[in-house]
Amino acid sequence: MARLEVRPSGIVLDVEPSETVIEAAWRHGYTWPTVCMGKGTCRACVLQVTDGADAFSPVGRWEQEGLDAATPVLPGDASSYRLACQATITGDVVVQKVGVRPA
């Protein structure tokens, strides 16, 4: 099982191998900013990886389309962003995402 730390809230979640980041948050009783409820179309779930980028699954075509639309308006390196509704992790990671909170 992988460990996900969400900053600035300090929330720490255990993530199952087949779960997306957002599914893990929901399973643990947290809300994650989203409009499309995990379908990959709204891009509101975008997170910034601050540690453990190598533990993320490869970016798929659908996620890449979303990132291509979202990252031009986000600060910093576009490659540090992922969609929580599409990405899975295989190891410990730290991400930045404002708005993750108990449901």
Please write the tens of the pLDDT for every residue from 56-88. 999 999 899 999 999 898 999 999 999 999 999
Residue 23 sits in a domain of what CATH number? 3.10.20.30
Q: Is the pLDDT of residue 19 over 90?
A: yes
* Token code pair at residue 32: 């994650």
| pLDDT attached to residue 51 | 98
Q: How confident is the model at residue 39 (pLDDT cuts 50, 70, 90)?
A: confident
Tally of domains within the chain: 1
Instruction: Please tell me the total number of residues recorded for the chain in this structure.
Output: 103
From the number of C-beta atoms within 10 Å of its C-beta (0-12, 13-18, 19+), residue 10 rates as exposed
State the residue range of the domain holding 39. 2-102
Average pLDDT, rounded, for the chain? 96
